[in-house]
Amino acid sequence: MMTQSNELIFFIDLDNTIWKNPYPLIFNEIIDELSAKTERSLDFVFSLINYEFEIREKQNRIFTFDWDDILSCVCRKIGDKWDCSLTDYINKHINKYGINVFQGVESALKILKKENVKLYCSSNGFYKYQEPILKATGLMHLFDELITSDQVGFTKSSKKFYRDKFIDEKRVITIGDSYKYDVFYPKKFGFNSIWDVETILSPSIVKKYLYSVPSERSSLINHEFLTNHKSDIYSQNCTLSIMPDAIIFKFFEIINSYKIIISDTVNTK
């Protein structure tokens, strides 16, 4: 359903934005099991999974994030069969460790809801993987909808991912940790973007610029970020010449950041 033209809309990423990404721990367990079962090295199994993912990502297919299919393909290559479901491992992880929601997320979301901001979860991950995690956080009621690539048939590299959720691009803000999916493409679509780098930048850089203005951080940290991450950016066929409207170190900073962004947008019309 299309929103009203004057509504402000947030598309918020999940892993490493709302919560600490649980998938590295989950896949460590899967890789350990496959390695022991097939007598292949941990590095070998990991390399096969990573290779299958990278091939799909280069093809820009939604099946890039179909981890059950990826694991099935990898198992066939090593003479095994994937007869489990990643969802089973996710639920086991939730029961054992819970989900680590970042500090300030819940309070920030509640403030945004009171300010009548439309809040959509936006994830390249499949619904069957992300929905149980979102439920486990107790935050699902704060969002209007969980949007995933398998539901809409596109990843966040396509404007069609966002479907009919907006009328005015300048009333849309994307928030996430991925430069490629949460900054580069959204800015090409005409959206505003906030780059959440809490899990990306080193603590020393965060400390150095902690009290700077989020909307001014792009120029401040551009050089230092490029020094450490330029290979990742350029391997994704992106360029840091496209910068976000604000960079945040903590999720709660979106409250002040989005107001500055929208104010600047209004003033430039």
- Rounded to whole angstroms, the Cα distance separating 11 from 123 reads 9
Residue 68 lies in a domain: yes
The one-letter amino acid at 119: L
Q: Provide mean pLDDT across the span 220-242.
A: 54
End-to-end CA distance of the chain: 27
Residues 159 and 40 in one domain: no
Residues 118 and 249 in one domain: yes
| CATH code of the domain containing 128 | 3.40.50.1000
Q: What is the pLDDT of residue 95?
A: 97
109-159 tens-digit pLDDT:
999 999 999 999 999 999 999 999 999 999 999 999 999 999 999 999 999
- Rounded to whole angstroms, the Cα distance separating 209 from 228 reads 17
Does 235 score more than 50 pLDDT?
no
Residues 129 and 252 in one domain: yes
Q: What is the pLDDT of residue 212?
A: 72
Number of domains making up the chain = 2
Q: What is the pLDDT of residue 243?
A: 81
Residues 72 and 111 in one domain: no
Given 57, 78, 97, the domain boundary residue is 97
Residues 61 and 108 in one domain: no
- Rounded to whole angstroms, the Cα distance separating 265 from 269 reads 7
Residues 236 and 208 in one domain: yes
Residue 216 lies in a domain: yes
Given 61, 82, 97, the domain boundary residue is 97
Quote the mean pLDDT of the chain: 87
Does 238 score more than 60 pLDDT?
no
Residues 111 and 93 in one domain: no
Residue ranges making up the domain that contains 202: 9-20+101-268
Residues 85 and 108 in one domain: no
Residues 36 and 70 in one domain: yes
Residues 140 and 52 in one domain: no
Residues sharing a CB contact under 8 Å with residue 258, sequence separation 6 or more, in sequence order: 8, 10, 117, 173, 192, 194, 246
Q: Are 133 and 19 in contact (CB under 8 A)?
A: yes
Residues 163 and 226 in one domain: yes
Residues 122 and 224 in one domain: yes
41-72 tens-digit pLDDT:
999 999 999 999 999 988 877 889 999 999 99
Q: What is the pLDDT of residue 242?
A: 79
